[in-house]
Chain A
Amino acid sequence: MNTHNIDLPAWLEIVVIPILNIMVALFFAGLIMLAIGVNPIEAVGIMLNGAFGYDEGIGYTLYYTTNFIFTGLAVAVAFHANLFNIGGEGQAYIGGLGVGLVFLALDQYLPALLLIPIGIFAAGLFGAAWAFIPAWLQAYRGSHIVITTIMFNFIASSLMVYLLVNVLIKPGQMAPETRRFSEATWMPFMHEFLGGFGFEITRTPLNLSFFFALLCCVLVWIYIWRTRWGYDLRTAGQSEDAAKYAGIKPRKVIISAMCISGALAGFVAVNAIMGEQHRVLMNFQAGYGFAGIAVSLMGRNHPVGIILASLLFGMLYQGGSELAFEIPKITSEMVVAIQGLIILFSGALALLFRPWVVRVYLKFKPLTAQHV
């Protein structure tokens, strides 16, 4: 029976099937743990406790969540235009370069009230610029965005190594990183911010970027579903021909979608550099760009889904490092393997269970309304 043209009610499509997919991914993760002699149930307990069991754990979980929201949104915006931005990794890295350049130049002269918006703007601008080139090449020269963004990840990495080792490095220092920026550039920590209102919480890297990430979710939602630009984006993403007939210019859509996507990826630098490290260092963005693809697939390219998926990934990251600490046999790379399984089952094999769900659904559905 051919099931892929039978419509399912929304709750099956956006709740049951995604949850089934994640369950299978986690099932295989459990098998891996069994294979290396670790009790998966115990491991889940340690992870949950590490991520949510105490103040500090929650802070770290939400700190990681912030990064995943940015890269997840980045991938989602491009997806709605039917573009696969696999270059979030490089865009985030170059976003960090933007932050580094403006702060190295200005951090001694301007007040925090100016520096923080400038830093956010620089992160977005540099990320967008790094996405603009592949976008332009796709729109006007016909090169495939997947391949060019992959290549741009590597080019970004070489560029940053060169700049950090030879140009931006703090003089008289061995480690390839910039000097620490002045305190005026720091994104306020959550413990300081809430402390100002009389709430005492533990010191963690969690900072106000978290609220900025949530704001980005709202803005992306408004952009995609409530503006004519978003309408153009979705139309061009679903059918380029239809978009042309409607007077939409697909080339412009490609460029604007990728620039917004790149800017969102660049915002990782706001959280990781302005919020935590306060200097540019090598591979500060490592893994977040690729995780963004898993987050977006899991969250079905919707901001609400992305927040939930980011929370799960934040939990995996924080709980995973706790797990690696508690059980020496496990390393934090376990999270990377789980991430791969989630990309496989929530992304590439997203339709694996659909035929079965359709069959069960048709069995319980009143006959009169059945698809004929």
Chain B
Amino acid sequence: MSDWLSSTLPTLDATLRVSTPLILCAMAGLFSERSGIVDISLEGKMLAAAFAAGSVAAFTGSPWIALLAGIFVSIFLAFVHGFASITHRGNQVVSGLAINVLASGLTVVLGIAWFARGGQTPSLASSARFMPIELPFAESSANVPVVGRFYNEVISGHNLLVYAAFAAVLLTWWVVYRTRFGLRLRAVGENPLAVDTAGLSVGRLRYSALLICGLLCGIAGTYLSIAQNAAFVREMTAGQGYIALAALIFGKWRPLPALLACLMFGFLDAVAIRLQGVEFAVIGEVPVQLIQSLPYVLTVVLLAGFIGRAIAPAAIGVPFSKDR
């Protein structure tokens, strides 16, 4: 029993750590997509924020200023997306792609020009990072069987941003389903004309959604470069923005199911590393690449309607135009 626990708990602990950016990005995408704006640029915003946070932390030594910088850059990119797709009614997928490509190029160009370390930012001292926090009673509960150990080894000992990610899910749920803004947000993604007829500004609502989207992606990026790691590394998002998008779709554009999808994808990632080279009875060794591609495969299967049905917000991807 305790053997089983001591091999499982570290995996669950790792799951939380790798799920955090997914959760933040999935919630970010939820705001944007629920308002009717396709957002494939979660990846680019997170990457740019990671770079901004990593650089600013290196210059100032303050994780909080770095967090602000990450959020600022991410919101700026979200507004570029808004300017193209709301104000100028451009193609939202093209605009999102532009942001991803731009972020991928610019972070390396600026990184090399500023730090001359092959695209990496300088390693940060722990005072410039978000460090693990011991939750109250974690130490003393370590002796309590199962629950206590779970609390001590899995729940406790993460950095602030991990807890922020879970708080963000609850907040997202509350905002989307329990506030006036949330009601309008959902309405503008389903039927913007009705919202417009009711005298509300479609553009303004969508820009607000993108503001929140940028904020959350900014936190996710900051987490990558100054909390989970101690520096920005080129292409460090490595497709996680797309996995978050997949999780959002997997969760059918709802906060709690999306959280579960993120945790599942995070768990797969954590397990993939541990299963490397492990032989199973009957099936033999499971290729790591198979586990790594499972989130994408599962999302395709879900989208094809083979397991349930994922129905996107009705007005998603369609630029709104008052005159017809």
**Residues of A bordering B, CB below 8 Å:** 2, 32, 35-37, 84, 86, 137, 141-144, 146-148, 150-152, 154-155, 158-159, 161-162, 166, 290, 293-294, 297, 329-331, 333-341, 343-344, 347-352
Contacts and interface: CB of A to CB of B under 8 A. Distances in A.
Main secondary structure of the interface of B (DSSP, over half): helix
B146 interface: no
Given A340-B102, A340-B106, A344-B102, 17 more contacts: A36-B113, A84-B93, A146-B38, A158-B296, A159-B289, A159-B293, A166-B287, A290-B97, A294-B101, A333-B109, A340-B99, A340-B100, A340-B105, A343-B98, A347-B90, A348-B90, A349-B83
Given A37-B113, A141-B305, A344-B80, A154 B101 contact: no
Nearest to B323: A2
B283 to A, nearest CB: 15
A141 B261 CA distance: 22
B85 interface: yes
B141 interface: no
A355 B16 CA distance: 50
A339 B106 contact: no
A350 B299 CA distance: 32
Nearest to A293: B97
Contacts of B293: 154-155, 158-159
Given A293-B97, A347-B94, A151 B299 contact: yes
Q: How large is the interface on B (under 10, 10 to 19, 20 to 34, 35 or more residues)?
A: 35 or more
Interface in B18-68: 38, 40
Contacts of B94: 84, 293, 297, 343, 347-348
Given A144-B303, A352-B88, A32 B106 contact: yes
Task: Among A37, A86, A297, A337, find the residue whose CB has the most chain B CB atoms closer than 10 A.
Answer: A337
B300 A143 contact: yes
B160 interface: no
A347 B289 contact: no
Contacts of A147: 245-246, 249, 299, 303
B90 A155 contact: no
B91 A162 contact: no
Nearest to B118: A331
A147 B96 CA distance: 13
Interface string B295-318: 011011001111000001000000
A333 B110 CA distance: 10
Nearest to A148: B300
A83 B309 CA distance: 22
A348 B105 contact: no
B93 A148 contact: no
5 contacts: A141-B306, A144-B303, A329-B113, A333-B108, A344-B95
